[in-house]
Amino acid sequence: MSKMKAVVKVRGEPNGTEMMMVDLPKPGPDDVLIKNDVASICGTDVHIFNWDNWASKRIKPPLLYGHEFAGHVVEVGSKVKNTKAGDYVSGECHIACGRCHQCKIGQAHVCRNMKVFGIDVPGVFAEYACIPATNVWKNDRDVSPELCSIQDPFGNAVHSVYSTDVKGKDVVILGLGPIGIMCVMLCKHAGAANVFAVEKKNEYRSEMARKLGATKVFGEGETDGLTKEIFELTKGKGADVVLEMSGSTDALTHGFDLLRTGGDMILLGVYSQPATIDVSKQIIFKYTTVRGIYGRRMWGDWQKMKELFRDQNLRKDLTTIITHKFTFDKFFDAMETMRSGQSGKVVLKF
Ligand SMILES: [Zn+2]
Ligand SMILES: [Zn+2]
């Protein structure tokens, strides 16, 4: 077989995505060819599909997109030593250079020369994926391909929650996209005392968070007296940790009000404009630790996921976050489901 079915952004416009036959990639000496079992749709893929402001600046069509997957290795390049045909793998989509200062000091997730597959180079919405061997992660065989395919967002959640210690703490999570929901679940599993969440728009996802153990989810119209309520619910102390996952500058500004003195502000949401923060009041005099989260630490966060997957209860909970499964042929239906917001993670089966 020399052709494969693939999802390609062929034109820079909202209707510019097509499912088409493309050449099967030929792995270079350092690459690995993988037959996909499952791919998962990310918020990033929705941006590319919709062709919003970010996508039009960053993406150069034609692009085979998608970056979340699990599959089996079918062929490796001549120099590849760390993986072989038959291995059950997923992949870190951030391709680090291995040479810059950050790469050398163990911060490859913020490599200065980073490329991302599915954004800068061809991705995984296809029957086969070809990625550098350095980016391959071997999965445990008893973990389902559906779960293994969502390690990109799950790794973001792991990076966020485990960048502080939530055990016994009062945590507030702002924004319940799939990663926010995963954070609710992880905080509960990590022993947080209370997990309060705020999701103004999406009741479907608020309900998912309640089922996964959120103490209380504040919805539309319930956020006016939020600061007062969070202080009451935490016996006048305020939240020990705020996880800002929404990307709304209002949520960020408000989030600092919810935090106790000496608390941790963890930021994963990406803002389309600068936010206004009273630094003296909210950070210095309040002794706040602010931590930006980007990507997944290579490979500490991947190893952490491997360990977390060994907990059957966590595995069961994480499985509930995958709400829809489609065959790859039904990509456009799957994308519509994701765009509707009436879903958790949506996966494609090959
Ligand atoms: Zn993703
Ligand atoms: Zn680098």
Tell me the pLDDT tens digit for each residue of 137-179: 999 999 999 999 999 999 999 999 999 999 999 999 999 999 9
How many Å lie between the centroid of ligand 2 and the Cα of residue 93? 14
Domain 3-154+296-349 and domain 164-292, same fold? Reply is no
Ligand minimally distant from the alpha carbon of residue 103: 2
Q: Which residues surround ligand 1, an ion (CB under 5 A)?
A: 42, 152
Please report the pLDDT score of residue 222 as a whole number: 84
Given a cut of 70, is residue 14 above it in pLDDT? Answer: yes
Query: Which of 312, 315, 323, 313 lies closest to 207 in space, CA to CA?
Result: 323
Q: What is the mean pLDDT of residues 181-193?
A: 98
Ligand 2 midpoint to CA 56 (Å): 25
276-279: list long-range contacts, CB under 8 Å, 24+ apart.
Answer: 276/249, 277/252, 277/253
């085979």: which residue's tokens?
64
**What's the mean pLDDT in 190-195?**
98
DSSP letters for 43-54:
HHHHHHHHT-HH
Distance 147 CA to ligand 2 centre (A): 28
Q: Give the residue-averaged pLDDT of 17-21.
A: 98
| pLDDT averaged over every residue in the chain | 97
Ligand closest to 104 (CA) is 2
Residue 1 pLDDT class (50, 70, 90 cuts): low
In CATH terms, the fold of domain 164-292 is Rossmann fold (3.40.50)
For range 213-218, the mean pLDDT = 97
pLDDT, mean of residues 232-241: 98
Q: Where are the domains of the chain?
A: 3-154+296-349, 164-292
How many Å lie between the centroid of ligand 1 and the Cα of residue 152? 5
Which ligand has the shortest distance to the CA of 177?
Answer: 1
Task: Give the ligand whose atoms come closest to the C-alpha of residue 111.
Answer: 2
pLDDT digits (tens, 9 = 90+) for 273-314: 999 999 999 999 999 999 999 999 999 999 999 999 999 999
Res 223: pLDDT: 80
Distance (angstroms) between ligand 2 centre and the Cα of 99 equals: 5
Catalytic residues: 44, 47
Q: pLDDT value at position 61?
A: 98
Percent of all residues in the chain with a pLDDT value above 70, rounded to a whole number = 100
Provide the H-helix boundaries in the chain. 43-50, 53-58, 101-104, 145-149, 151-161, 178-189, 203-211, 226-233, 249-258, 279, 300-309, 312-321, 331-340
Alpha carbon distance 300, 158 (integer Å): 10
Tokens, residue 254? 């408000």
Neighbours of ion ligand 2 (CB under 5 A): 96-97, 100, 103, 111
Number of H helices, E strands in the chain: 13, 18
Find the 308 Cα to ligand 2 centroid distance in Å: 28
pLDDT digits (tens, 9 = 90+) for 61-106: 999 999 999 999 999 999 999 999 999 999 999 999 999 999 999 9
- Spacing, Cα 256 to ligand 2 middle (Å): 33
| CATH class of the domain comprising 3-154+296-349 | alpha beta
Ligand 1 centroid distance, CA of 70 (Å):
13
Instruction: Give SS3 for 266.
Output: strand
Ligand nearest to the CA of 113: 2
| pLDDT at position 221 | 83
Q: What is the pLDDT of residues 311-322, one digit of tens each?
A: 999 999 999 999
